Amino acid sequence: MAKNITVIGSLNLDIHIPVEHIPTQGETLGLLRASTQAAGGKGANQAVAAARLGAQVHFIGATGNDAAGRMLISKCKAEGIDVSAISALDGKNTGQAFIILEPDGHNTIMVEGGANKLVSNAAIETAADKIRQSDIVIAQLETNFEPIIATFKIAKEAGVPTILNPAPANKPVPDELLQLTDIVTPNETEAATLTGHKAVTGADFAAITTAFQTKSIPNTLITLGSKGVYYNVAAQTGVVAAHKVARPVDTTAAGDTFIGAMAAVLNKDLSNVKAAIDFANAASSLTIQRAGAMDSIPTKAEVDALLF
């Protein structure tokens, strides 16, 4: 049976800027090729990943009542996502992400939040029943904290597991939100920012896990890029290897694909976490072999073909 997933998060117009290298201060740099625009935002990417990989998805967010916002909502609807809790706000700009893309597939991203920062608690109340009916609720940090906290409170009261993808981790996360989180899913950099511990060795992973447990988060999962994923979830711990890719094209949506894919197959009691991580790793390996964010996310048939 398909999982019911609620995602509260961002919708951005992604502007891809291909360069030979990251420019230094004062340097003028020509583009390798023309810049392009595409649908994105961490929330929207994760919602699309979950939908393409078999889940029924309900999305909570906000755009401007502008061409970019209408395009993003239309893209989500086309994926079968319930967009009834996405607000189109008059006089506000849809969020934008400027993605500097290097030839090796690595990227540097700057985000202008726009309407993403204006999701209201009233919007959460209208979505309360669907939150309660979810198998998993997912959030990131490209929106304001208050509606995430309100969403997680409703989920926790209903016994629905919550996943916090703490990206971008560039400001303190309220303890109230951490205490409502069942699984935290930083990458190496985010884990170091949030806990003060680097994420290199097994001892480092244990220290990060302990730091999050001190903040009342029972389960930790750290994405390690080509080195795989460390997890300490539901009394299970280990590292699940990444699926090898000879030459990455664009890593922009790899982490978002991972989160959405894992949620699409993760049991509510978290009992199949290792298998869910392997499935998500496979999905991410396909994403990074394609250009773009949302458009690079694979379907369940493509992931199944890789695994089976």
pLDDT tens track for 188-233: 999 999 999 999 999 999 999 999 999 999 999 999 999 999 999 9
One-letter amino acid at 232 equals N
User: Does residue 160 contact residue 134 with C-beta atoms inside 8 Å?
Assistant: yes
pLDDT at residue 99, as a whole number: 87
Q: Is residue 227 a known part of a binding site?
A: yes
- Told to judge if 129 belongs to the known catalytic residues of this protein, a careful annotator would answer no
pLDDT at residue 111, as a whole number: 86
Q: Is the pLDDT of residue 285 over 80?
A: yes
What tokens appear for 241 in the block?
């290897």
pLDDT at residue 234, as a whole number: 96
- Average pLDDT estimate for 5-32: 92
pLDDT classification of 133: cutoffs 50, 70, 90: very high
**CB 138: neighbour CB atoms within 10 A?**
29
pTM: 0.93
pLDDT at residue 106, as a whole number: 82
Q: Is residue 287 a known part of a binding site?
A: yes
pLDDT at residue 32, as a whole number: 83
Q: Is residue 250 a known part of a binding site?
A: yes
Q: Is residue 134 a known part of a binding site?
A: no
Three-state SS at 270: coil
Q: Is residue 41 a known part of a binding site?
A: yes
Q: Is the pLDDT of residue 183 over 80?
A: yes
pLDDT at residue 105, as a whole number: 77
Helices (H), the chain: 42-52, 67-78, 121-126, 128-132, 145-157, 175-178, 188-195, 202-214, 254-265, 273-287, 300-307
Domains within the chain, CATH numbers bracketed: 4-24+31-307 (3.40.1190.20)
Q: Is the pLDDT of residue 41 over 80?
A: yes
Report which of residues 177 and 99 the model is more confident about.
Answer: 177
CA 286 to chain centre: 16
User: Catalytic pick from 256, 269, 278, 295?
Assistant: 256
Q: What is the dihedral of CA 133, 138, 144, 146, to 10 degrees?
A: 40
Report which of residues 37 and 150 the model is more confident about.
Answer: 150
pLDDT at residue 33, as a whole number: 84
User: What residues have CB less than 8 Å from 152, skipping those under 6 apart?
Assistant: 137, 139, 162, 164, 177, 180, 181
What does the mean pLDDT of the chain come to?
94
pLDDT at residue 122, as a whole number: 87
Q: Is residue 13 a known part of a binding site?
A: yes
Report the C-alpha gap between 100 and 114 in whole angstroms.
Answer: 20
Q: Is 36 exposed, middle or buried (0-12, 13-18, 19+ CB in 10 A)?
A: middle
